[in-house]
Structure 1
Amino acid sequence: RRELYVKVLNGKKLLNTLSLLKIFFDNITDAIYFKDVKGHFVLINRAKAEDMGISSPQAAVGKTDFDFYSREFAEQAYMDEQRIVKTGKPIRKVEKVIYKDGRVRWGSVVKIPVMDDKGNITGIAGISTDVTKLKEVEEKLRESEERFRVMFEATRDGLVVVDSTGEIVYWNPAAESIFGYTMNEAYGRKIYSLIIPEKKLEHMKGMLKDFFKEKWNIKWRKKIIGCRKDGTLVPLEISHSKFQFKEKDYVLVIVRDVTEREKFLERIKREADNAKRYLDVAEVIIVSLDKNGKTTLINRKACEILGYKPEEIKGKEWFENFIPEKCREKMRNIFNVLIYGDAQRFKYYKGSVLTRNGEERIIEWYNTILKDNEGNVIGTLSSGLDVTEREKYELKLRDLAYRLNGLKPGGIFIYQSHEKCFKAFADLTFHRVPGLCMLRKDPEEVIEKYGIKPESIRIIASKPLKGYPPLDTLQKVSLAISEFQKENIMGVVLLDGLEYLTSISGFDGVFRFIQEKHLDFIESRSLLLMPFNPETLQPHEKALLLSEIEGLK
């Protein structure tokens, strides 16, 4: 009787255990399944049934992965399971699950062999955990890392990271360009002994040590003289920022080669102090946009210029919120060309931004596109310089050059003296007025005598001359001027060879050309300068010509 009681008691315990296991099996959120050696489902839990899109676990019995998933996924799963049947070894992996309707999820799966009492493999047991959200987080982290990597490598400033001993641990391509050392040459060397002249070494050592001793992250900007690999000295502007990574202190050193800026400052040193201040610092702003034009990354300098906090900018549509309405469509078109067309065409361009208080700031942009691992464009990364004050100053210089030459923007002027005409053009372009010089003479002579830039020269002739492409018809001359005016506001065009154009197109053709272009030059505030003696014309032709110009010099 006691033995019977024990058997009954043990049977109840077994039933309770089985009941608990069934509750666990039916309610666990992980997908659990059993298959025979040919891949047919024998038993699945509710979570697996939901994953397969069926109402009852019983509906899966006798079916295979090919009935519920894509052929690609089902074939891979079958090969994995046959490997288990042959080797008896379990498999643990993260797999990409693709359904017949194209849906995708990621699962962390463990598959083990099922054996009978004699150790023969009779099937496969598997459990799969959905890790799709984890994979999405990993992908976002990778994209963030990629943005910062591209930002570090694309910026025109040298970026150097040093540890607390002063050893270099990162050295971007711009730093290589500034100092002449490659990353391999710079890595592990002391920053002050590598790029600082010997007489300044001790000073820089002490400065770096003091910087690491500071409790707070004190940021500062200084001008120093650096030393290149070839021993030449270079004026630099540097700034420091301390940060921690894996509980170690590091300093990010931002280095800017200010050689060209120093030369420019020297040329205008007679100007007022307020004109110098905006040239002393040309800080870089960084903006990243996704394919829809929404802001995904914005740095401190950009926030300062726009007058917004970072959280007020991130996620906002860039063109609708931060670009003036008058140039919004143009800037959006440039962005679309970068994303969907020729990324090199607008690698550099100049445009305006709209600040919080309604002010427009002019920015010189350097742009690059961002791509994912598959080479698909996912957005843009742009660095820019605020050149608003420089533009204002250059406009003053241009106005001064106009006044000194007795000219005003907008219109046509004829010079009876070739010498004076070329000197006026050279003086205006020297003061940064965009110029187009269309010649009927030796370009090398003009370059040497007047200092006119070769890239601004076109030749009016029937065949190429010394590598310069020819403009052999009045129509081509007109088209070249139109293209120049499209890209340059308040430019100056010197049109030599009016006699030649008259000989091939007749006075009537040349006069119609001047009439058509007259309004274009007035509207664009551009100048057309023509060295020509009107006395060579018939009286009525001279009268017509002079009626269409602003002045005879």
Structure 2
Amino acid sequence: MARFEFPLVSKSDERVDVLLNAAAYRDANGDITGVVSVRQDVMESTGEEGELNRVAQEEDLRLLIDNASKPIFGIDKEGNVNEWNLKAAEIVGYSFDEAMGRDFVEEFISPAFRVQTKGALDNALQGRDTANFEFPLFAKSQARVDVLLNVTTRRDANGDITGVVVVGKDITDLNKADLEQNRLAENLRLLSDTTIAPIIGIDRQGRVSEWNHKAAEIMGYKRDEVMGCKLVEELISPDHRVQAQGALNDALQGHEMARFEFPLVSKSDERVDVLLNAAAYRDANGDITGVVSVRQDVMESTGEEGELNRVAQEEDLRLLIDNASKPIFGIDKEGNVNEWNLKAAEIVGYSFDEAMGRDFVEEFISPAFRVQTKGALDNALQGRDTANFEFPLFAKSQARVDVLLNVTTRRDANGDITGVVVVGKDITDLNKADLEQNRLAENLRLLSDTTIAPIIGIDRQGRVSEWNHKAAEI
């Protein structure tokens, strides 16, 4: 709502007439959390001092936009670029002078996304904002740049719509990481389907959600025949169902079960004795979504062919670990490094040979985080995994590297615990971006407190949540 006039009552019980521009205030997820109102005191003088303040305020805003860590674009009512900060120039490759005045949609958006993008901009020109709108820009180099944008109406001092301002986030690397993670998952799927061990998974309701090639071979059921079936009720021998259900329930609570023997019933109604290692399966947030069970057919031969398959499987796993896009570390039961992939070497600076055999906690973790880190590793050595555990590593260059880790028990073919495997994510840049966002927010706060216009905000319950220096003054 623009230029809505109403009176406030001051602390001295005087009437203060104001013009109101009210807009929804959104959080980082785009959800409306309240209203922010920018008000102009209509009884305020508009002399030389006010004009100087306005010019100074605009200069502060220009510096803030130009030096923001996020790309900021703007268009006028005709859709032509009239705002293009330094970060926008950096990620798209066009300078301010090259971009200004050009049709944003026609010249910077790929044909497949033009209609959708123009719709979001047209909505903003009608006063309707759009939050977390994702589309690709095409850079001067013709490279694709994926951006997540908040599209907001831009108004002049009178509250009239003059164009659109767009604040973005470059998510190109994030999308590439997602593609790489999907590739890694597909490689793990292929490895699962060629392993000599049957792998069976269930969801939280006990329905089959994983069934590899070897499971199909020894049980006689194809993947399509069993997916969604109740594992215990339909595939476990009746006299072992209670025991099997108990083991799976324990795994769903995060307690691993190693070398638990029970019989499955094959499609031909034959008994297949298996040894079960049951472990919780977690999603990206660390929440348990089911159980994955690696089983060894105890009636299977252990001859030369099986040994050759085992060696080939280990070689495939080695290639997968070494070429993963995430850092992967491993320690033995004494806490010494026994796994260190190429990505770990890249972000920490120590090569495989330099890291192997060294005490992980004592030599790579800062003193302030050693107790916490050792606790997570000790838990894994007792069969208790830890998901999304954040701590800093210190690189060879002494630079701090923030990592988010999943710490998992490592077992041998017999199900005995041999150490810990740690799969990480480098979140150093993400944490720096959070700090930069906090800095930007603080600069906006300072700008709010020095602006010539009173700014008042309310939350969803109508309670005051913003009250700048000028509001206090009038």
TM bracket (short chain): 0.3 to 0.5
Larger relative helix fraction: 1
Normalising by structure 1, we get a TM-score of 0.40
Larger relative strand fraction: 2
Higher RCO (C-alpha 8 Å, min separation 6): 2
Structure number with greater Rg is 1
Normalising by structure 2, we get a TM-score of 0.46
